[in-house]
């Protein structure tokens, strides 16, 4: 079953603009992860934020986590055409380390040069 | 490290045929996952293994699907008999340890088309 749900489903922006994607989930978690998938390729890990963290940065990526609202956001600053991809949030079941990640359906980001 | 290796990359078969997808996880990773991706249903977890033992196969759609992990460096996902609705991209992923501290590494996927 789907745990995370991304919003919006699709996003189109101009190069240089910021892109914000949101993720909501249903149950308690150990961590939340964001992945990117380029067309025809496998998923690539971007960033992991633990349940006791509120914000994390990695290069042009900024992730926030609000466990009280069961939501996360991924911000890509100064977007580039190469950022065009689908972005997925993924969560675990929360009670044990021995669980898989469950993925949402993703946000399709198009960055127009 | 070569990453997670999947074969074949593309498979076209006819309905009723047996299909076997293969995966070599990253050496030293304790967990192996099989996912299926379609436009309609997104990325679905089919089954996962910990130390070669199947832990949860509740995502396997029906008895036509089976998965094995005979050793730490190899896993197969078999569909017998295949049906057109099995057409999807199948991903294998591996992880070095518990989910709380570790990302999952995905293979390039196998695109399956059942005619």
> Tens digit of pLDDT per residue, chain B (115 long)?
689 999 999 999 999 999 999 999 999 999 999 999 998 889 999 999 999 999 999 999 889 999 999 999 999 999 999 999 999 999 999 998 876 678 899 999 999 999 9
| Chain A residues touching B103 at Cβ < 8 A | 33, 45, 48
The pLDDT value recorded for residue B100 is 64
The pLDDT value recorded for residue A95 is 60
The pLDDT value recorded for residue A100 is 83
Q: Is the dihedral of CA A30, A36, A42, A44 positive or negative?
A: negative
Average the pLDDT over A102-113 and give the result.
93
Inter-chain touch B97–A97, beta carbons under 8 Å: yes
pLDDT at A40 over 90: no
The pLDDT value recorded for residue B99 is 65
Which of the 8 DSSP states describes residue A59? T
The pLDDT value recorded for residue B61 is 87
Average the pLDDT over A57-65 and give the result.
97
pLDDT band of A29, cuts 50, 70, 90: confident
| Chain A residues touching B30 at Cβ < 8 A | none
Task: Please name the residues in contact with B49: beta carbons below 8 A apart, sequence gap of 6 or more.
Answer: B31, B32, B33, B55, B67, B69, B75
Q: Which of B43, B55, B109 sits opposite A103 (nearest CB)?
A: B43
Inter-chain touch A41–B109, beta carbons under 8 Å: yes
Among B44, B108, B3, B30, smallest CA distance to A101 is for B44
The pLDDT value recorded for residue A93 is 65
pLDDT band of A94, cuts 50, 70, 90: low
Inter-chain touch B100–A31, beta carbons under 8 Å: yes
Give how far B1 is from chain A: nearest CA, Å. Answer: 15
The pLDDT value recorded for residue A90 is 92
The pLDDT value recorded for residue A3 is 64
Among B102, B113, B97, B94, smallest CA distance to B23 is for B94
The pLDDT value recorded for residue A27 is 85
**Which of A101, A102, A107 has the highest number of chain B CBs within 10 A, making it the mutation to test binding with B?**
A101
How far out from the chain centre does Cα A63 lie? 8
CA distances to A48, B82, B102 from A35, rounded to whole Å, are 9, 30, 13
Inter-chain touch A101–B104, beta carbons under 8 Å: yes
Q: How many helices (H) and strands (E) does chain A have?
A: 0, 11
pLDDT at A1 over 60: no
Cis peptide bond N-terminal to A8, omega within 30: yes
Assess contact for B19 and B13: CB atoms under 8 A: yes
The pLDDT value recorded for residue A28 is 85
The pLDDT value recorded for residue A30 is 83
Q: How far apart are CA B5 and CA B74, in angstroms?
A: 10
């Amino acid at each position: 079953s789907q745990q995370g749900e991304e919003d919006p489903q699709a996003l189109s922006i101009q190069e240089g603009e910021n892109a914000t994607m949101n993720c909501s989930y249903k149950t308690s978690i150990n961590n939340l992860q964001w992945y990117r998938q380029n067309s025809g390729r496998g998923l690539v890990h971007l960033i992991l934020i633990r349940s006791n963290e509120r914000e994390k940065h990695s290069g042009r990526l900024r992730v926030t986590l609000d466990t009280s609202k069961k939501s996360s956001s991924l911000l890509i600053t100064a977007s580039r055409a190469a950022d065009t991809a689908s972005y997925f949030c993924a969560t675990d079941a929360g009670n044990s380390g021995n669980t898989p990640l469950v993925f949402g359906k993703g946000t399709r980001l198009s960055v127009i040069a | 490290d070569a990453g997670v290796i999947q074969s074949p990359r593309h498979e076209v078969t006819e309905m009723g045929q047996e299909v076997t997808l293969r995966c070599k996880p990253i050496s030293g990773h304790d967990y192996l996952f099989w996912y299926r991706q379609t436009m309609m249903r997104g990325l679905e977890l089919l089954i996962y293994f910990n130390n070669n033992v199947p832990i949860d196969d509740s995502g396997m759609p029906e008895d036509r699907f089976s998965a094995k992990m005979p050793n730490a460096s190899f896993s197969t996902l078999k569909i017998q008999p295949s049906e057109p609705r099995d057409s999807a991209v199948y991903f294998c992923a591996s992880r070095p340890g518990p989910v709380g501290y570790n990302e999952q590494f995905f293979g390039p996927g196998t695109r399956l088309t059942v005619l």
